[in-house]
Amino acid sequence: MSFIGKLFGKKEKTPVSQCKICKTLLEYNEGYALTTSEVVSSKEYWDHKMVEPETLGYTTAHFKQKDANATKMRGIIFEKTAEKDQTWLVCDTCIKQFEVDTNEAKKHALQWWESKGVYNPPKSGDAKAVLEKDTYEEIKEYATMLAGGNKIR
């Protein structure tokens, strides 16, 4: 900070981000950093994702009308999510959807903040490239065919 800035009390802006799941604002050093594989591997994440306002219509049509196009869209939603090459910064509430080591996820988040959003945790990237084929297909099947069903029927 410059001398004039210090003199007149101008403060540097504190970096902020958003939870990638619920969009809650996160301040510097808050949150947990997850990989795409960790996110898409969570059945609880998919149960929430498939009943959000943007996806609820597809989920309702999939379960109630057995609509093939709705089912196809749910598969596309899974694939588009699974191919994201990003660090998923998530809040204290949303981390509960994931079976991960929260201490490690917190450490990765601190590294993400310190790098100004450049750092990626190990095994980041497209989930299809990171997960074993059988695991990926099992998760895809759940997300496409079952996720959110208990909230629709």
Say what the pLDDT of residue 13 is.
Answer: 63
What 8-state DSSP symbol labels residue 14?
A: P
The DSSP element (H or E) to which 17 belongs, if any, is strand 16-18
Say what the pLDDT of residue 12 is.
Answer: 61
Cα–Cα distance between 46 and 142 in angstroms, integer?
A: 8
3-class DSSP assignment, residue 16: strand
Cα–Cα distance between 144 and 107 in angstroms, integer?
A: 32
> pTM here?
0.88
| Cβ atoms of residues 109 and 32 within 8 Å | yes
Say if residue 113's pLDDT is above 90.
Answer: yes
Q: Where are the domains of the chain?
A: 15-151
**DSSP secondary structure string, 23-86?**
--EEETT-SEEE-HHHHHT-HHHHHHHTTSTTTHHHHHHHHHS--HHHHHHHHHHHHHHHT--S
Q: What is the mean pLDDT of residues 30-37?
A: 98
Q: What is the mean pLDDT of residues 120-135?
A: 97
Residue among 142, 109, 145, 121 at smallest CA distance from 41? 142
| Cβ atoms of residues 34 and 105 within 8 Å | yes
Tens-place pLDDT, residues 44-85 = 999 999 999 999 999 999 999 999 999 999 999 999 999 999
What percentage of the chain has pLDDT greater than the value 70? 91
